[in-house]
């Protein structure tokens, strides 16, 4: 680097040099991160990308002084506004957290204290770092709540986290991070679980506040649409090493490294391809005019009704994938749970195997439980951590009367079908990666010889490369077994690539329904058009 370049560039807010952090003995590699160097300048956003296990979150936690004790010693340098903070005393780091640097975590429900109101949690931060009176604190909190576009700040101030939506909770966490105007903001996957419209609002909010305060932002994500939308610079991580870095345009359109090219090749396109027509056949599953009403409150308070889903009709044929998209609270998952009979619909009919099942009792539902299986978003929570994965896979068939030896042989075949070694059946869920656990969840769903899979946000939390593998796997299994798939997602890129037809839901109602290419290319309803326009990086052209 020449002297002219050095003097022309502003002093970085965060500078990481030759950072190396060890892993415990017995890990799959000696270092969590090794010899990492980068800088984040005032008013700039650096996106740190890479697959799970690449070391992105380890770097964020090292900057904040939150590294787990079991990790090995850290060497190198982390400078915040020119001050060395790697291995700094906890007392010094406590003074810097909130005031000079702040972090927004991926899951706001775990980042917030469920026993405290939202206002009280932000006030606690102000008490630690300022001399404001209680009245001044309240005014400051209401002001930041308004700035992050929270509705009814007074009500939000007095609300507990569980009383708010996911997007509102994330805004609370962002408000806490920004209220003291830190020089550095670290965002660790803050929009992964959000629908596209809420995600667009959160990203716009971060960019606006970052520009207004000249805040430096270190943004960790696996969503390349988000990277295309907000990044100034991009750094690509692989297995603890920094393999490529540069401007957004350079890395996303002219990548130099094969690993970066592989990641970008796995990003689903927003352009829906032409798909072969699904052969006409009797539906495996049919829902007619299905509705779900939740009745809330009790005497002596006034009772109220919440219409979660209204008059939804759909059918799934062999080899067909039906997508359901919409914002959080639109009724997607409620409808999926009604169809799977995990909850009972208020009205309407469900037909499968020539029988009406909307209001059937448990005994009549037993064959249906084998017919329709669900793959949930978080495989770690849906797999019993105390059972081997083999025990989890054979549990369903054994309960339906299949001999244990026969169920185990079927489990070995299914492990090969989902591209895992059958010897792994005797291991526990914590011994697998997120993508491997999702494959095991798919094998478990198929063990009961299901004809219909309901995938409820089954790939939304996965890296783009693992996501591509799971989607390819589902397509392959569907082709082999003529499965019908009901695919619930907020990821429009994924929906555009794998769904034969799309159902768009808004506030419990179906507002548009049709062939995927038609819905994506020429949406008829204003809500569908707004949903599509909110997809991050929609018009960005990645590597050719």
Q: What are the two backbone dihedrals, phi and then psi, of residue 254, each rounded to the nearest 5 degrees?
A: -135, 60
The closest alpha carbon to 118, from 152, 84, 91, belongs to 152
Q: Tell me, what's the pLDDT at 543?
A: 67
Q: Tell me, what's the pLDDT at 2?
A: 46
Is there a contact between 312 and 339 (Cβ–Cβ < 8 Å)? no
Q: Walk along the chain (544 residues) and give the pLDDT tens digit of each residue.
A: 444 444 567 899 999 999 999 988 777 788 889 999 999 999 999 999 998 778 898 999 999 998 887 777 889 999 999 999 998 888 899 889 888 999 988 777 778 999 999 999 999 999 988 889 999 999 999 998 888 878 889 999 999 988 887 678 888 988 888 888 889 999 988 877 677 887 888 888 888 877 888 889 999 988 898 999 899 999 999 989 999 999 999 999 999 999 999 999 888 888 888 888 888 888 999 999 999 988 766 665 566 777 888 999 999 999 999 999 988 778 888 888 899 888 889 999 998 877 888 777 777 788 888 888 888 877 777 888 899 999 999 999 998 889 999 999 999 998 988 888 898 899 898 888 667 888 898 889 888 888 999 988 888 767 788 788 888 888 888 888 899 999 998 888 889 988 999 999 998 899 999 999 999 999 999 999 998 988 888 888 886 5
Global pTM exceeds 0.75 = yes
Q: Tell me, what's the pLDDT at 51?
A: 85
Two tokens, residue 361:
């009792």
Q: Examine residue 367 and say whether the peptide bond preceding it is cis (omega within 30 degrees of 0).
A: no
Question: What is the total residue count of the chain?
Answer: 544
Half-sphere exposure of 264 (CA within 13 A, CB side): 25
Instruction: Mark residue 523 as left, alpha or beta (left: phi above 0; alpha: psi -120 to 50; beta: remaining).
Output: beta
Strand order through the sheet with 241-247 = 101-104, 184-188, 216-220, 45-49, 233-238, 241-247
C-alpha 264/C-alpha 276 separation (Å) is 26
Is there a contact between 282 and 351 (Cβ–Cβ < 8 Å)? no
Domains and CATH numbers, the chain: 10-100+186-267 (3.40.50.300), 111-181 (no CATH), 285-510 (3.40.50.300)
Q: Tell me, what's the pLDDT at 296?
A: 67
Half-sphere exposure of 269 (CA within 13 A, CB side): 12
C-alpha 445/C-alpha 145 separation (Å) is 43
Is there a contact between 449 and 370 (Cβ–Cβ < 8 Å)? yes
Cα dist. 341→309, 324, 337, 360, 475 in Å?
14, 17, 6, 9, 25
Q: Tell me, what's the pLDDT at 298?
A: 60
Q: Tell me, what's the pLDDT at 1?
A: 43
C-alpha 87/C-alpha 73 separation (Å) is 9
Q: Give all strands (DSSP E) within 398-442, no chain letters.
A: none
């Amino acid at each position: 680097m020449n002297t002219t370049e050095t003097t022309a560039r502003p002093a970085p807010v965060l500078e990481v040099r030759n950072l190396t952090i060890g892993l415990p003995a017995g890990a799959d590699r000696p270092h969590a991160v090794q010899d990492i160097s980068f800088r984040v300048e005032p008013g700039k956003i650096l996106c740190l990308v890479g697959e799970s296990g690449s070391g992105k979150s380890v770097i964020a936690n090292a900057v904040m002084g939150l590294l787990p004790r079991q990790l090995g010693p850290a060497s190198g340098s982390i400078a915040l506004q020119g001050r060395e903070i790697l291995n700094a005393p906890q007392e010094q780091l406590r003074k810097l957290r909130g005031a000079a640097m702040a972090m927004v975590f991926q899951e706001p429900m775990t980042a917030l204290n469920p026993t405290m109101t939202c206002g009280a949690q932000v006030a606690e931060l102000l008490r630690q770092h300022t001399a404001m009176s209680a009245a001044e604190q309240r005014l400051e909190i209401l002001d930041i709540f308004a700035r992050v576009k929270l509705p009814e700040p007074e009500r939000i101030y007095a609300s507990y986290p569980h009383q708010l939506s996911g997007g509102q909770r994330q805004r609370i966490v962002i408000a806490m991070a920004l209220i003291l105007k830190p020089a550095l903001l670290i965002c660790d996957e803050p929009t992964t679980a959000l629908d596209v419209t809420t995600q667009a609002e959160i990203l716009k909010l971060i960019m606006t506040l970052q520009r207004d305060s000249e805040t430096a932002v270190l943004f960790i994500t696996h969503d390349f649409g988000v990277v295309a939308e907000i990044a100034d610079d991009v750094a690509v991580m692989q297995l603890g090493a920094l393999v490529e870095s540069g401007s957004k345009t350079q890395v996303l359109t002219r990548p130099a490294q094969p690993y970066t090219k592989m990641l970008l090749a796995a990003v689903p396109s927003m352009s829906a391809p032409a798909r072969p027509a699904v052969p006409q056949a009797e539906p495996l599953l049919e829902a007619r005019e299905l509705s779900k009403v939740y009745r809330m409150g009790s005497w002596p308070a006034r009772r109220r009704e919440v219409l979660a889903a209204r008059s939804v009709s759909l059918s799934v044929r062999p080899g067909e994938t039906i997508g359901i998209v919409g914002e959080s609270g639109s009724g997607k998952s409620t409808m999926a749970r009604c169809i799977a009979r995990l909850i009972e619909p208020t009205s309407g009919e469900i037909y499968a195997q020539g029988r009406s099942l909307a209001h059937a009792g448990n005994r009549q539902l037993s064959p249906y439980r084998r017919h329709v299986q669900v793959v949930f978003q978080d495989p770690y929570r849906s797999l019993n951590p105390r059972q081997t994965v083999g025990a989890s896979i054979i549990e369903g068939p054994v309960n339906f009367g299949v001999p244990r030896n026969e169920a185990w042989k079927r489990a070995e075949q299914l492990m090969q079908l989902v591209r895992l070694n059958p010897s792994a059946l005797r291991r526990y869920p914590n011994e697998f990666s997120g993508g491997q656990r999702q494959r095991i969840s798919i094998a478990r769903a198929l063990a009961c010889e299901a004809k219909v899979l309901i995938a409820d946000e089954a790939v939304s939390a996965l890296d783009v490369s693992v996501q591509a593998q799971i989607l390819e796997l589902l397509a392959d299994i569907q082709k082999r077994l003529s499965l019908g798939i009901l695919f619930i997602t907020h990821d429009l890129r994924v929906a555009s690539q794998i769904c034969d037809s799309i159902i768009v839901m808004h506030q419990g109602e179906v507002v548009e329904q049709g062939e995927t290419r038609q819905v994506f290319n020429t949406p008829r309803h204003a809500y569908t058009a707004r949903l599509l326009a909110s997809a991050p990086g929609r018009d960005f052209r990645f590597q050719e």
